[in-house]
Structure 1
Amino acid sequence: MSGSGSSRNVNMASTWSKREEKLFEEALAYYGEGTPDRWHKVSRAMGGSKTADEVRRQYEILEDDVKLILSGRVPFPKYNTQGAWN
């Protein structure tokens, strides 16, 4: 089987705006693992722009990508840090 899981995941993921990604991250931090109805709460915290299933799937995709990076099967992304936080 060729190709990385990461590229497969990108193809299956819905498009997320930078704002949605930020809201998603903030909601995940607030509604930690073990929170009842976590994905519904994260979806609501994002203003309902994504369904609970889309939110859960996005989390699973990111989790899979982290596992691939940590296993050494995918190189750690190289970010341009100059002016990244401006």
Structure 2
Amino acid sequence: MSSSWTFKQNKVFEVALNKYDKDAPDYFQNVAREVGDGKSVEDVKKHYAELEKDVNEIHTNGAGSSSNNTKGGGSSDGQRPRYLKRQ
């Protein structure tokens, strides 16, 4: 399992998260295939969980409106990325 993520891998990851239907059973398999570079489905699931945790912390602490240092394409208007929206 590969634990470190390059800037390029993160960008591909973010694009792939938006490309596929989050409710599809093969969502994480599709994202892992897009990222490539030896990233497994488990790597992608772990990275997604870390991203979700980071975004939730930003929103809980109110830092989303002024921070430009968010993982996963967080926006400066305090909105969650589409792939992390609560249902």
TM over 0.5: yes
2:17 corresponds to: 28
Query: What is the TM-score normalised by the length of structure 1?
Result: 0.65
Higher CA-based Rg:
1
- In the alignment of these two chains, the number of paired residues is 67
The structure, 1 or 2, with the larger RCO (C-alpha pairs under 8 Å, 6+ apart) is 1
Question: Over the residues paired in the alignment, what is the CA RMSD in angstroms?
Answer: 2.4
CA-CA distance at 1:48 after TM superposition: 4.8
Structure 1 residue runs of 5 or longer lacking an equivalent are 1-12, 81-86
2:45 corresponds to: 56
